[in-house]
Structure 1
Amino acid sequence: MSILREIEAEALRPETVAEFGRALVFEGRPASSAGEWWRCWEGCAGLSEGRQWVGFVRVDGESPEIREMEREPGTEIVIPVEGELVQVVSNGTRDPSGVERPDARGARAFVLKPGTALVMAPGVWHAAAFGLRGPASYFYVAERRKAEDSEDRGGWVEFADRFRLVCPCRPTTRGEFDGR
Structure 2
Amino acid sequence: MTLRAIPLTPDAFAPFGRVFDLTGTPGEGVMPMSGEGWRDSYTLAPLIDGPAHLGMTQGPSAPWDCRLMERHPRTEEALFCAGAAIVLAVAPGGTAPAPLAETLRAFIIRPGQVAVMNRGVWHDACRGLKAPTPYYWMATCGLGPDPWVEVSGGPVRVLA
Give the TM-score taking structure 2 as reference length. Answer: 0.63
Equivalent position amino acid for 1:145 in 2: G
**Partner deviation per Cα, 1:45-87 (whole Å, 9 max, x = no partner):** xxxxx94211101112231111010011211000111211000
Q: Tell me: CA distance 1:93–1:105, structure 2 relative to 1, closer, same or farther (3 Å).
A: farther
* Distance across 2 between alignment mates of 1:74 and 1:134: 29
Q: Which has the larger radius of gyration?
A: 1
Task: Give 3-state SS (helix, strand or coil) of 1:149's partner.
Answer: coil
Q: How does 1:63-102 map to 2 (within 5 A)?
A: 63-72=63-72, 73-92=74-93, 100-102=97-99
* Runs of at least 5 residues in structure 1 that lack an aligned partner in the other structure: 1-49, 170-180
Q: How does 1:1-180 map to 2 (within 5 A)?
A: 51-72=51-72, 73-92=74-93, 100-145=97-142, 149-150=145-146, 155-161=147-153, 163-169=154-160
* Runs of at least 5 residues in structure 2 that lack an aligned partner in the other structure: 1-49
Shift of 1:144: 1.4
Task: Give 3-state SS (helix, strand or coil) of 1:114's partner.
Answer: coil
The answer to which structure has the higher helix fraction is 1
RMSD: 2.2
Task: Give 3-state SS (helix, strand or coil) of 1:133's partner.
Answer: coil
* Distance across 2 between alignment mates of 1:131 and 1:57: 11
Moved over 6 A (4+): none
* Distance across 2 between alignment mates of 1:104 and 1:54: 29
**Paired residues, number:** 111
Shift of 1:101: 0.6
Task: Give 3-state SS (helix, strand or coil) of 1:118's partner.
Answer: strand
* Distance across 1 between alignment mates of 2:88 and 2:108: 7
Equivalent position amino acid for 1:165 in 2: V
**Conserved 8 A contact 1:59-1:137:** yes
Task: Give 3-state SS (helix, strand or coil) of 1:138's partner.
Answer: strand
